[in-house]
Amino acid sequence: MAEILVSCHCHAAVPLSQQSEEAAMTLVWDGKANAVEGSVFLRRLKRGRIAIGAALVVLAALWGLGLLPLWIAALSAIAVPLATAFTPLDDRATVPVSQTERDADPLAVALLEALNEPAILLTARGIVHEFNAPAIDVFGNLRTGDPVSFALRVPEILDAVRAVGTGGTARTVEYADRVPVDRWLEARIGPVWLDQADRERGNPQFVLLVLHDLTHLRRAERMRVDFVANASHELRTPLAALLGFIETLQGPAKADVSARERFLDIMRSQAARMSRLVDDLLSLSRIEQKQHLRPSTPVDPVEIVRSVVDSLSPLAGERGVEIRSSFPGTSVSVPGDRDELIRVVENLVENGIKYGQSGKRVDVSVTATGPEIRISVQDYGPGIPPEHLPRLTERFYRVDVGESREKGGTGLGLAIVKHIMARHRGRLLIESPSGGGARFTAVLNTRADE
Amino acid sequence: MMTQHTSKEFDEDLKSLSEMIAEMGGLAEQLVGESISALLSRDLAAAQRIIERDRVIDSLQHAVEEKAVLTIAKRQPMAVDLREVVAALRVSNDLERIGDLAKNIAKRVVALEGQLQPPKLAGGVDHMGELVLGQLKEVLDAYSRRDATRALQVWKRDGEIDAIYTSLFRELLTYMMEDPRNIGFCTHLLFCAKNIERIGDHATNIAETIHYLAVGEPLIDERPKGDLTSTTTISFGED
């Protein structure tokens, strides 16, 4: 693929030059090439002239002094500088090692921008020469004149850049990023030949690196594997319970009316748990699917919190818990996905009501400090022992398995919250001082960059 | 940022030192990531590959050392330039250790071959690995940019890894007490968790070096500590 991209690169210039000799874009290439060749020729000429001049001075001196036997030696001394002066200089040695002083190449920049995928043009030695806007989005850390490894450290890519830079053929490297979010990428690295002589020598002028995002493909594969692994493990328990009760109802308890009523109740709650589990697993997968795409539509966190508090007030009333909310005086907005943020606030407030029921109160607040918007949910229940705090967002991690199941928890609520926050490039803070009560804070960033 | 020197080669020397460090960093990141996923998926072939690849980091470290000594001898660097060279030496040391720790995890994958694994335990190790990889990436980015603020954030965040290690330690002890057949497996896993935690410590060392490089003074505050395993006990109760 990289080969194709590279050849596009060259072909684009040809028809343009045929259309009009004055086309500015082709002038950039041709002009530059001529300038380089011209300057090399001048340098050779200058070196040759100095060498001849010096040799003649020596000859004259020797003649004057009458040292005839040295004549022969001097003659051969002339031959050496003359020969070296007009042999072609190694162009590579005259290309500046660091390209920082060079101006941006308009055609190169234009072509990179047209690719619409992250692309970096490197010198043959792997120094960043030009790059496009999508590349800045991915790396953030690109500076002309820096080695590419300052921004991209994947060993296989560095090896490939080295190989292509020294005359190797185009190649493709697939790699995965785990942080900040899982991402699968394919890097295509190809040589850029500006003239036939370079091609023959096997010294490309530049190396083109183009990234292609494979996340949506790989994610779907991973999702299937994870789903099967999680679902089979977690669904087994309620399924085994269901089967046991069905067997009992068909066998020993066939005629026992009171047992049937009790068993059917248990069976219904187990089946309901299974269906919640499937729902949660599916929504977790859906969120993971688009986790590498940060949402950009502005949403109003105050409106989100208001609507969640309204929808959960019946549950709070049922459990004897009062929800108090406080909002900032000014209107706030943050780039986000409304449905997902509703899910975050819903999960946090619902947890507060369920697990902090004994505190009889849940405080929900939205605060804005600098570029950060904090949605925080505080309950006054028994709190969470410190050894569990760092683990709460792991899938199926439960502080107390029995209590969680009894309250209808699937063990996925906070994992979902964490994934939504990761997609928003935000954070989830969990605090629980030893005196009791727990505070969950979702921190969102209003700035579009990191 | 690096300022220009009259001698262009000096700039090139310093830059190529950073380049080698970045390359070592990339390898270290890869080894850590792959060793943890080899542990979770019990992938023997991947573990063997990791054990092989650690040698590349070692040889890069020698190259950095040689280049650094040569630069000091040839250029007699002062102030920030000297710190630049010293920092490269220190960071390459830490990265070499990180490579070793990743190799140790891979060796345990080989040792664990054929033993049963309670699936629930994997979650904790995975979570810890994710945090450590995040720290490593941040600190290497901070090094490339000579960004002391970012380095300081990494330094402050190490407590999270320590806290999760303490929690995992408790959980593994509980498993061992539940069933003695778990002891072999849990002990290996405990050492793996310890190795991951040590990788986090090396990331904070690098953060300290970056701070010293950019600011010129060492970080002297006491780092927030979250590793309480040296004082953690679980009593044999009636449950």
Q: What pLDDT digit, counting tens, does each position of A254-307 carry?
A: 888 888 888 888 889 888 888 888 888 888 888 887 888 888 899 999 999 999
Q: Is the pLDDT of residue A218 over 80?
A: yes
Q: Do you find a cis peptide bond into B119, omega within 30 degrees of 0?
A: no
Strands A334-335, A372-379: parallel, antiparallel or unpaired by DSSP? unpaired
Chain B contact for A396 (CB, 8 A cutoff): yes
pLDDT of A403 reads 77
Interface touch B163/A389, C-beta < 8 Å: yes
pLDDT of B210 reads 94
Residues 131-190 of A with CB under 8 A from B: 141, 146-147, 149-155, 158, 178-180
Interface touch B164/A390, C-beta < 8 Å: yes
Question: How many domains, in total, are found in chain A?
Answer: 4
What are A410's two structure tokens? 């699937």
Q: Is residue A234 part of a domain?
A: yes
Q: How far apart are CA A14 and CA A12, in angstroms?
A: 6
Interface touch A147/B22, C-beta < 8 Å: yes
Interface touch A394/B144, C-beta < 8 Å: no
Interface touch B124/A394, C-beta < 8 Å: yes
Residues of chain A contacting B133 with CB distance shorter than 8 Å: 178-179
Whether A265 and A250 map to the same domain: the answer is yes
Whether A222 and A196 map to the same domain: the answer is no
Whichever domain contains A261, its CATH number is: 1.10.287.130
Q: Is residue A98 part of a domain?
A: no
Whether A19 and A76 map to the same domain: the answer is yes
Q: Is the pLDDT of residue A327 over 50?
A: yes
Banded model confidence at residue A96, pLDDT cuts 50, 70, 90? very low
How distant is the Cα of A297 from the closest Cα of chain B, in angstroms?
27
Residues of chain A contacting B126 with CB distance shorter than 8 Å: 394
Residues 60-89 of A with CB under 8 A from B: none
Name, of A2-16, A98-112, A383-397, B214-228, the range with top average pLDDT.
A383-397
pLDDT tens across A134-143, in order? 888 888 778 8
**Residue in A closest to B17 by C-alpha:** A147
Whether A301 and A447 map to the same domain: the answer is yes
Mean pLDDT across chain A, nearest whole number?
77
Q: Given its phi and psi angles, is residue A41 left (phi above 0), alpha (psi -120 to 50 degrees) or beta?
A: alpha
Residues of chain B contacting A389 with CB distance shorter than 8 Å: 163, 167
Q: Which of B29, B130, B166 comes nearest A153 by C-beta?
A: B29
How distant is the Cα of A63 from the closest Cα of chain B, in angstroms?
42
What are B54's two structure tokens? 């650690």
pLDDT tens across B158-176, in order? 888 988 899 889 888 888 8
Interface touch B133/A179, C-beta < 8 Å: yes
Q: How far apart are CA A405 and CA A270, in angstroms?
A: 10
Find residue A120's DSSP bridge partners: A131, A209
Lowest mean pLDDT among A72-81, A165-174, B75-84: A72-81
pLDDT of A449 reads 57
Domain boundaries, chain B: 8-231
Domain holding A226, by residue range, is 214-293
Q: What is the mean pLDDT of residues A80-85?
A: 43
Residues of chain B contacting A229 with CB distance shorter than 8 Å: 119
Interface touch B23/A387, C-beta < 8 Å: no
Burial A102-114 (b: 16+ CB within 10 A, else e): eeebebbeebbee
Whether A327 and A204 map to the same domain: the answer is no
Q: Which of B15, B133, B141 comes nearest A147 by C-beta?
A: B15
Q: Indicate if the alpha-carbon torsion angle B180, B181, B182, B185 is positive or negative.
A: positive
Q: Is residue A97 part of a domain?
A: no
pLDDT tens across A369-396, in order? 888 899 999 999 998 888 788 888 888 8
Whichever domain contains A159, its CATH number is: 3.30.450.20
Q: Which of B123, B141, B166 comes nearest A396 by C-beta?
A: B123
Q: What is the mean pLDDT of residues A110-123?
A: 90
Q: Which of A256, A278, A293 is the last residue of a domain?
A: A293
More confident site: A410 or A374:
A374
Whether A358 and A428 map to the same domain: the answer is yes
DSSP letter assigned to residue A127: B
Q: What is the mean pLDDT of residues A151-175?
A: 90
pLDDT of B238 reads 39
Question: What is residue A146's three-state secondary structure?
Answer: coil
Whether A197 and A112 map to the same domain: the answer is yes
CA nearest neighbour of B229 among B134, B161, B136: B161
Residues of chain B contacting A387 with CB distance shorter than 8 Å: 166-167, 170
Whether A303 and A363 map to the same domain: the answer is yes
Interface touch B26/A387, C-beta < 8 Å: no
How distant is the Cα of A394 from the closest Cα of chain B, in angstroms?
6
DSSP letter assigned to residue A389: G
Contact A98, B11 (CB under 8 A): yes
Contact A356, A320 (CB under 8 A): no
pLDDT of A73 reads 52
Q: Which of A238, A262, A293 is the last residue of a domain?
A: A293
Question: What is residue A420's three-state secondary structure?
Answer: helix
Alpha-carbon distances of A315 from A46, A318, A352, A354, A363, rounded to whole Å: 91, 5, 11, 9, 15
How distant is the Cα of A282 from the closest Cα of chain B, in angstroms?
19
Chain B contact for A395 (CB, 8 A cutoff): yes
**Termini Cα distance of chain A:** 31
Q: What is the mean pLDDT of residues B90-117?
A: 90
Find residue A367's DSSP bridge partners: A374
Mutation target to probe the A interface, by most A beta carbons within 10 A, among B131, B136, B141, B196 is: B141
Chain B contact for A390 (CB, 8 A cutoff): yes
What ipTM was reported for this prediction? 0.82
Under CATH, to which class is B8-231 assigned?
Answer: mainly alpha
Q: Which of A92, A114, A135 is the last residue of a domain?
A: A92
Q: What is the mean pLDDT of residues B37-58?
A: 90
Interface touch A391/B164, C-beta < 8 Å: yes
Banded model confidence at residue B202, pLDDT cuts 50, 70, 90? very high
Tally of residues, chain A: 450
Q: Which of A149, A389, A396 comes nearest B23 by C-beta?
A: A149
Q: Is residue A100 part of a domain?
A: no
Mutation target to probe the B interface, by most B beta carbons within 10 A, among A149, A162, A174 is: A149
pLDDT of A45 reads 44
How distant is the Cα of B144 from the closest Cα of chain A, in angstroms?
5
pLDDT tens across B177-197, in order? 888 888 888 899 899 999 999
What are B107's two structure tokens? 């060796």
Q: Indicate if the alpha-carbon torsion angle B155, B159, B160, B162 is positive or negative.
A: positive
Interface touch A179/B27, C-beta < 8 Å: no
* Cβ neighbours around A38 below 10 Å, total: 10
Alpha-carbon distances of A320 from A26, A356, A389, rounded to whole Å: 77, 11, 26
How distant is the Cα of B146 from the closest Cα of chain A, in angstroms?
11
Mean pLDDT across chain B, nearest whole number?
86
Q: Percent helix, strand, coil in chain A (nearest 5)?
A: 55, 15, 30
Find residue A375's DSSP bridge partners: A366, A442
Whether A150 and A261 map to the same domain: the answer is no
Interface touch A150/B133, C-beta < 8 Å: no
Whether A374 and A405 map to the same domain: the answer is yes
pLDDT of B139 reads 94
φ, ψ dihedrals at A432, nearest 5°: -150, 95
Q: How far apart are CA B74 and CA B158, in angstroms?
A: 38
Q: Is the pLDDT of residue A179 over 90?
A: no
Q: Is the pLDDT of residue A98 over 50?
A: no
More confident site: B235 or A264:
A264
Whether A267 and A391 map to the same domain: the answer is no
Interface touch B23/A158, C-beta < 8 Å: yes
Q: Is residue A21 part of a domain?
A: yes
Name, of A215-219, B129-133, B229-233, the range with top average pLDDT.
B129-133
Q: Which of B25, B120, B137 comes nearest A179 by C-beta?
A: B137
Chain B contact for A232 (CB, 8 A cutoff): no
pLDDT tens across A305-315, in order? 999 999 999 99
More confident site: B27 or A294:
B27
Whether A298 and A434 map to the same domain: the answer is yes
Q: How many CB pairs under 8 A join A and B?
A: 80
Residues of chain A contacting B19 with CB distance shorter than 8 Å: 147, 149-150
